[in-house]
Amino acid sequence: MTASTRLALTRSTLRLFDDAAALKVALSYGLGMQDGPIWGPIGVAGNLFTLAYLQAEKIGWLIDTGLLKVSEETEFKVKTSHKLFWSLYAFVGLVKSIRALHASAQLLKSRQRPRCAQARFTQASLTTTKLLLDVVHVVSWLPRGWLWGSALQTQHASGIATLAAIMGLVVHYNGMRLLPRK
C-alpha cells in the first residue's frame, strides 16, 4: 500500500468520529434565522450536506473494510453519493467564504476601517483560495459527465489536494497569528 493510500484510509477512519462535532455545529446553527432569508438556508444546507457526507463515508468505509457486503451497483451509488455530498458541502463552504471575502473587502474600503481590516482580508483571501482548491479537487473525483468529474489525471488531482492541504496549514497558522495574545 502506498503512503497516500494509507493516509487516505487513516483520514477516513478518523472521520468516523466527526459526527458529534458536525451535529453540534448543525444544532447550534439551527435554522439559520440569524443569517437572513438567503444565507440562513445556505448555511443549513451546508450542515445537512456535511452530515450526509459523513454518513455516506461511514457506509463506504464499511464496504471498503469488508464489514458490509453489497452489490457493485450499490457500492458505486454509495461512493458516488459520498463524493456528491462532499462536493456540495465544499461548494457551500466556498460560497460562504466568497461572501466573507467580499465583506472583508468592503471593510477594507471603509473610512472607519478597524486596524484588523487588512488581516481579515488576508485571512479571507487565503480561506477562499483553499476552498476553491478543495472544490476543484473533490469535483474531479465525481463520475465522468458530472461537471469536470474524472477529467483530471490522478497525479493532478493529488497535486491539487496537496496544495489545498498546504493552504489549510497556511490558513490555520495565519489565523493563529490573529488571535489575541495572553
Boundaries of domain holding 72: 3-178
Alpha carbon separation from 92 to 25, 157, 174 (Å, rounded): 15, 20, 23
pLDDT digits (tens, 9 = 90+) for 46-62: 999 999 999 999 999 99
Could you give the angle at the alpha carbon of 54 between the alpha carbons of 125 and 22, nearest 5°? 65
CB-count burial class (<10 Å; 0-12, 13-18, 19+) for 174: middle
DSSP state of 143: P
Grid coordinates representing 4?
Answer: 497516500
Task: Tell me the per-residue pLDDT of 6-44, one tens digit each, with 9 for 90 and over.
Answer: 777 777 777 778 888 888 999 998 998 998 999 999 999
Q: Are 111 and 131 in contact (CB under 8 A)?
A: no
Q: For residues 140 and 157, is the Cβ–Cβ distance under 8 A?
A: yes
Instruction: Specify the pLDDT at position 126.
Output: 97
Mean pLDDT of 142-162: 91
Tell me: the pLDDT tens digits for 110-139?
999 888 889 999 999 999 999 999 999 999
Q: CA-CA distance, 149 to 153, in Å (whole number)?
A: 10
| Domain total of the chain | 1
The CA distances from residue 80 to 14, 50, 162, in Å, are 20, 15, 22
For residues 57 and 51, what is the distance between their CA atoms, to the nearest angstrom? 10
How far is it, in rounded angstroms, from Cα 66 to Cα 120? 46
> Is the CB of residue 43 less than 8 Å from the CB of residue 29?
yes
- What pLDDT is stored for residue 124 in this prediction? 96
Reported pTM: 0.85
- In this prediction, residues 151-176 reach a mean pLDDT of 92
